[in-house]
Every structure is written in C-alpha cells, then in structure tokens.
C-alpha cells in the first residue's frame, strides 16, 4: 500500500482561519473511499501551545516544526495582518525545508511570510491584487506578478487571495496525484477542479456587463465542453453566442480572465488528462477525443502546459483498467 502523502500546515499567531480551513478541507478529509489518495495532514507550530485566530477560533498543533523534515509539502496560510512578523523559528524552518528541496506553498498573504524568510528574493510571486503594492514596497527584491491566480518559482508556490488558495491546493493535488484525484476532491467540495484565467478578471470586471452576456457565455462554454472532440474555432463559438468574433473575445476575456483560444486549449488538455488516467485508449484516439486532432499536437500542448508528455502522464497517473475505452465516440471523455 502506498504511504500517505505527508502535508504540513505551518501555524503561528496571526494566520487566517479561512486559509487553515481550505488546507484542512483539501488535505485533511479522508476521501479514500471515493478513490482519492491518502493524505497525512499535520498542524505544526513552534510548540504545543494553542494558536489563536480571529473570530474566537483556535488551532491546536499536533506536531512541532521538527516534523517539517518529514513533509512532502509545506503549506503557509495567509495572515489577518499582512505585516505580522513570523517567529524566527518558523522562518528558519522554512529556509531549511526549501534547502532540502521540499515543496513550499503560501496562500494569499502567506507570501509575506515567505518573503520575510528571504525565500522569494529574486523569485516570482503573487498575492491578493489588493496587496501587490504592499508586497513590492516591503520586499523590493521579490518579482511580484500582478495578475496570476497562482505561480511557481524554484519549487515555491504562491497564490492570489482567498478562493485562489483553493485553486492552488487543488492544483498541487493534480500535480502530485493526477487530474482525477483533484476532480474527486473538487466534487466533494462542490467547486471547480480548476479555473483558468488570471485575477485581472476580478480587479477590472467583478461581474459580466449584463445578465444576458453571462448566460450566453456560460451556454457557449457548456456547448464547447460537449463538443471538444469536434473542430471548434473562436469564430464558430462567437457565432454560437450571436456575437462578432471581436466582441465575443472581449466579453469572454472580461468574464473569465483568459482568451477563448487559451480556455479551449486548457479544456482539451484537461479532457486528455482524464482519458489518459481512466482509459487504455491509444494516443491517437485520446488526441482525437480531446480535440487535438493529432498526437503530435497533443504532445506539444502537454509539454507547454504540464512540462511532461502524454505517455509519461499516463505512466504516472493512469489506472490502466481499460473499462472506459469502449465508450462511444460521441463524447470526448468516457464518463
């Protein structure tokens, strides 16, 4: 039996209860009966003293920072006050963990903690769009990216505000355990397995311009997902929406934070991931059902988006049961 994936939550006074809840929901709930991987989440702190949080909440550590040496992944919650100084032992422990090659991830204002440790100096990082200027002014050696939902640099992950922490946690599951594992957890949480786009969509356009635009664009996306295996073009999707291609692209980008073509390619990669995990279909058939047309094209997009090949992805995450390989070709994904 494969050992549980070890995850450490780093706690100290001032951390946000929401981020602690997100981490606990993703990594601390046993979903193995539903086919999800086994996780071993530990709440680590300097000592066993209760860590107070805003709203009358409290966190009870079950391990000291020494346990970080055993962790596969270390998660740093955001802060209620983003200028809260992290205790020196916490900063030292994070530096040692990074030197060992352990993956570090910070949610929202947790980037400030990593920056205090000097771990973001000369590296790219993101935080909530409302905190970008503060992060730049307080830590000028950090290359602050203004519009991502989450990014990675040298095995250090940072995420934008609040809900982007969910996005990052699910992405980290997907990265280590495959798309199906992330989708299983996302379904349990009643959230999307992944969101495309950037946080610019929330800065400039909190909601679509009109209810009609929102309904129309949602219908177009649903149509595209049902027909991924068919040739789809931006012009064709615009016609389906009853818009000119230029107007469609503008409204689509405002609503989703990404272009129609980029969104479509992301969906096709996700569809191919599911087919590679769930079926024994030959590579050309996976490419056809996910809408790439050829194995070469699919391989190019896997390389650019996932830094791997379809064959390597299947070797890492495929079940190889073949149970779904005989599903009809009318749907891009065997359900």
How do residues 283-316 score in pLDDT, each as one tens digit?
Answer: 999 999 999 989 999 999 999 888 889 999 898 8
Confidence (pLDDT) at 328: 36
Q: What is the mean pLDDT of residues 150-162?
A: 90
pLDDT surpassing 70 at residue 125: yes
Confidence (pLDDT) at 194: 56
Q: What is the mean pLDDT of residues 71-80?
A: 96
* pLDDT classification of 323: cutoffs 50, 70, 90: very low
Confidence (pLDDT) at 157: 95
Contact 94, 32 (CB under 8 A): no
pLDDT surpassing 70 at residue 113: yes
Give the burial string for 100-111 (b: 16+ CB within 10 Å, else e).
eebbbbbbbbbb
Give the burial string for 234-256 (b: 16+ CB within 10 Å, else e).
bebbbebbebebeebbebbbbbb
- List C-alpha distances in Å: 258 to 124, 130, 147: 20, 20, 11
Q: What's the pTM value of the predicted model, to 2 decimals? A: 0.72
Q: What is the mean pLDDT of residues 57-81?
A: 96
Confidence (pLDDT) at 214: 65
pLDDT surpassing 80 at residue 147: no
Confidence (pLDDT) at 42: 98
183/298 Cα distance (integer angstroms): 21
Confidence (pLDDT) at 99: 98
Return the bridge partners of 64, or none: 45
* Radius of gyration, alpha carbons of the chain: 21
Confidence (pLDDT) at 57: 94
Confidence (pLDDT) at 2: 77
Least confident of 83-97, 178-192, 278-292: 178-192
Q: Tokens 């199906």 sit at which residue?
A: 180
């Amino acid at each position: 039996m494969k050992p549980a994936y070890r995850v450490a939550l780093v706690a100290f006074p001032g951390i946000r209860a929401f981020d602690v809840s997100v981490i606990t929901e993703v990594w601390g709930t046993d979903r193995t009966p539903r086919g999800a991987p086994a996780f071993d989440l530990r709440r680590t702190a300097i000592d066993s003293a209760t860590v107070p949080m805003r709203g009358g909440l409290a966190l009870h550590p079950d391990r000291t920072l020494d346990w970080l040496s055993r962790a596969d992944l270390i998660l740093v919650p955001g802060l209620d006050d983003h200028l809260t100084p992290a205790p020196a032992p916490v900063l030292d422990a994070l530096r040692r963990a990074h030197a060992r090659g352990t993956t570090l991830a910070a949610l929202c204002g947790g980037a400030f903690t990593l920056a205090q440790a000097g771990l973001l100096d000369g590296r790219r990082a993101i935080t909530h769009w409302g905190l970008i200027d503060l992060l730049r002014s307080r830590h000028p050696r950090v290359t602050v990216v203004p519009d991502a939902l989450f990014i990675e640099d040298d095995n250090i992950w940072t995420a934008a505000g609040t809900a982007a922490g969910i996005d990052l946690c699910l992405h980290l599951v997907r990265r280590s355990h495959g798309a199906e594992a992330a989708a299983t957890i996302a379904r349990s949480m009643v959230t999307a397995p992944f969101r495309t786009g950037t946080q610019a969509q929330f800065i400039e356009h909190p909601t679509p311009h009109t209810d009609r635009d929102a309904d129309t664009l949602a219908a177009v996306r649903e149509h595209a997902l049902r027909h991924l295996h068919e040739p789809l073009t931006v012009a064709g999707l615009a016609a389906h929406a009853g818009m000119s291609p230029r107007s469609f692209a503008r409204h689509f980008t405002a609503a989703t934070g990404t272009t129609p073509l980029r969104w479509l390619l992301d969906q096709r990669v996700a569809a191919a991931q599911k087919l590679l995990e769930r079926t024994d279909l030959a590579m050309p058939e996976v490419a056809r059902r996910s809408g790439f047309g050829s194995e070469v094209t699919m391989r190019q997009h896997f390389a650019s988006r996932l830094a791997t090949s379809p064959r390597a992805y299947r070797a890492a995450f495929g079940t190889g049961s073949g149970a779904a390989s005989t599903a009809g070709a009318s749907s891009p994904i065997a359900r």
